[in-house]
Structure 1
Amino acid sequence: MINIIKSVLFDCGYEDVVQTEIEFEKLEYKIDIFKNEYIGSQVFIVLQTLESQLVSLSSIKDFIIEIANFFRESDIYLPDMDKNTSLVYCVKNDINSEKLDVLKVKIEDDPFYFKKYVFSYSEAEADELKKLCKQRRQTPHELIQTYILDANNFSRFKKNASNEKVYRLVSELLIKIPVIPIKFKTQGQIKSVPDFLQEIQKCNDNEVGKLDRIIQTLFDSERNLEQPELIDEILEDWGFACMEDENE
């Protein structure tokens, strides 16, 4: 799964500047640190772990402090990174524990050190995504673009999420790595979320949990929104000013 995340972040303008391991409670955890090529203070720290390891930790707070101390002692650290660094827990499901959902909320709601996201996946989901990329001859970044906006995929997912595992995985990637662009064509031009993210030089803190509202906006046919109105509403859901306000 880490290779999929790497591919996505590379396509979003990030480079993998650190690959290492840290030890906590006698276990080793792989860490990759990605830095934006254009805005050096924007950083993603991706931590790989098994679900069984994460739920058995004696102190999540101490674990985060350990990661923060390691990051601040690294050669790439700059003070400007403090407010622009996101920690992504890449969690491979191996026990399907009910504790994981509770732990996700606890981790992501913690306001200290980093913006934090918990991305969980099964090996079967990751394999299916890789298979689909190969069949369609698309990179993961390209697949996310097309798959998330496909009305048929969305409809199957809403009817029974277990029958559309790739959609769940793609949705999770979109939420937990909130620099992935969703491109909409309007008046011959491409408008994308990262254009706005780069202008403000940081991710919006309230992106998690907004995907359902965005998807509903995209596929609510009864409202019959025109393209420019659709773009404005989606950007508003993400927390950005509408296009007209931005141009004033």
Structure 2
Amino acid sequence: MIYIIRRLLIEMDYKPGEGFRVDYELESEAEDKFLDVHPFISIKEEGSCILVCLISEGDFLEFDDKNLVVAIASSFRKCSTYTPEMDKNTSLILAVQKNKNASLSIEKQRRIEDDPYYFKKYVLLYSKNELSELKGYVKDGQNILELIKHYIYNKENFNKYKEHPDNNQLYSIITNLSTKIPIIPMDFSNSNELFDVNKHFEEKFEAKHTKKQREGVEELIKLVSQFPEDDLQSIDKLIAFSSSLKSVLSEGEIN
């Protein structure tokens, strides 16, 4: 994956900087582990930098994300690549190959990306099969950025993904790359529509349920959000919520 990201960043006028290594601890490991960090510095924008790290899913789930980010920031400031202007213009990309704990990885991904401190953080989750599909699509000597843009702009590819999302791993990893590498330029001004996966599922809900049903679901969500945290664990409450949701989806009214 680092080879793909490296080529992409170079195509977008970023040059490799001096790499560095960060040590971190895992409770399950007797010895400290290390993470190689690859900096890329913008040729056109002074002080703009992207740090890229590859990490296994197991280590990703186990490490203390706040401590690791602090360690990366501290080590970064000591390397020759760093300039003070980069403090506010550096993004960190953690590339994580998924294995068996995808749902846990997604939960941690959100927590890391929502953390406002140190860097703008992006977690690129991908599977071994997705990476294999991407490598098969990207040939040596081809411009990866143009291939990605061409693939995403092609409405036929999106339609195939809509029909069989679980069987279209190439679309999944390409759209993931386009959102997790923050500098990839995507211009949909010449397209008839923006092929947004979230929008697609929203439209499916709109088509399937009436306005009355949607309003009922929204009201239920508001009610549940008002439950005290400990009360939400109540079996009675959860059963009542489940029953009400079923009623809303069938009739549009709250019990």
TM norm structure 2: 0.69
Instruction: State the Cα deviation string for residues 67-126 of structure 1 (Å, max 9, x = none).
Output: 010111222212211111000001111333421111011000000000000001112111
Give the C-alpha shift of residue 213 in structure 1: 7.7
Counterpart for residue 16 of structure 1: 16
Q: Does 1:33 align with 2:39?
A: yes
Counterpart for residue 195 of structure 1: none
- Separation in structure 1 between the aligned mates of residue 106 and residue 189 of structure 2, nearest angstrom: 36
SS of match in other structure, 2:139 = helix
Give the letter aligned to residue 212 of structure 1.
D
- Separation in structure 2 between the aligned mates of residue 39 and residue 61 of structure 1, nearest angstrom: 28
Counterpart for residue 86 of structure 1: 91
Aligned residues: CA RMSD: 2.2
Compared with structure 1, are the counterparts of its residues 165 and 97 closer, same or farther at alpha carbon in structure 2 (3 Å cutoff)?
closer
Which of 111, 123, 134 lines up with 1:118 in the alignment? 123
Counterpart for residue 107 of structure 1: 112
User: 1:108, 1:115 within 8 Å by CA — same for their partners in 2?
Assistant: yes
User: 1:19, 1:32 within 8 Å by CA — same for their partners in 2?
Assistant: yes
Q: How many residues align?
A: 191
Counterpart for residue 72 of structure 1: 77
Counterpart for residue 181 of structure 1: 185
Give the C-alpha shift of residue 20 in structure 1: 3.1
Counterpart for residue 45 of structure 1: 51
Question: Tell me, which stretches of 5 or more residues in structure 1 are unaligned?
Answer: 187-209, 217-248
Moved over 6 A (4+): 213-216
Counterpart for residue 196 of structure 1: none
Compared with structure 1, are the counterparts of its residues 37 and 101 closer, same or farther at alpha carbon in structure 2 (3 Å cutoff)?
same
Equivalent positions of 1:145-164 (< 5 A) are 145-164=149-168
- Separation in structure 1 between the aligned mates of residue 49 and residue 199 of structure 2, nearest angstrom: 27
Question: For the pair shown, which has the larger CA radius of gyration, 1 or 2?
Answer: 2
Give the C-alpha shift of residue 50 in structure 1: 0.5
Counterpart for residue 192 of structure 1: none
Give the C-alpha shift of residue 182 in structure 1: 2.3
Instruction: State the Cα deviation string for residues 27-83 of structure 1 (Å, max 9, x = none).
Output: 1212100000111211100011011111011x2111110001011122221221111
Instruction: State the Cα deviation string for residues 124-143 of structure 1 (Å, max 9, x = none).
Output: 111111111239x7332121
Give the C-alpha shift of residue 159 in structure 1: 2.3
Give the letter aligned to residue 164 of structure 2.
N
Identity of aligned residues (%): 33
Q: Which is further off, 116-125 or 15-24?
A: 15-24
Question: Tell me, which stretches of 5 or more residues in structure 2 are unaligned?
Answer: 26-31, 201-255
Q: Which is further off, 156-165 or 117-126?
A: 156-165
SS of match in other structure, 1:34 = strand
User: 1:175, 1:211 within 8 Å by CA — same for their partners in 2?
Assistant: no
SS of match in other structure, 1:18 = coil
Q: Does 1:144 align with 2:128?
A: no
Give the C-alpha shift of residue 5 in structure 1: 0.3
Counterpart for residue 3 of structure 2: 3
